[in-house]
Homo-oligomer: A and B are copies of this chain.
Amino acid sequence: MNRIAPTALYQEVAERLRQRIFAHELPPGTWIDEQKLAEQYGISRTPLREALKVLASEGLVELKPRRGCYVTEISAQDIDDIYPLMALLEGRCASEAVKRAKRADIDDLKAVHEVLERSAVEGKIEAFFEANQEFHRKIQELAGNRWLLTVIQDLRKVLKLSRMHSLSIEGRLQQSLDEHRLIMAAILAGNAEQAEQAMHDHLLSGREALARMQDAPSAAKAA
Of A117-125, A131-139, A147-155, the one touching chain B: A147-155
A151 B155 Cβ-Cβ under 8 A: yes
Which B residues are CB-close (under 8 A) to A84? 145
Partner of A7, one of B57, B65, B88: B65
Count, chain A residues at interface, CB 8 A: 34
A6 at the A/B interface (Cβ < 8 Å)?
yes
Q: Is the interface of A mostly helix, strand, loop or mixed?
A: helix
Among A66, A82, A151, find the residue whose CB has the most chain B CB atoms closer than 10 A.
Answer: A151
Can you name 16 A-B residue pairings with CB atoms under 8 Å? A46-B46, A53-B54, A53-B57, A54-B56, A54-B57, A57-B57, A57-B58, A59-B150, A77-B146, A81-B145, A84-B145, A85-B92, A85-B145, A147-B158, A151-B154, A151-B155
Which A residues are closer than 8 A to B by beta carbons? 6-8, 10, 46, 49-50, 53-54, 56-59, 63, 65-66, 77-78, 81-82, 84-85, 88-89, 92, 145-148, 150-151, 154-155, 158
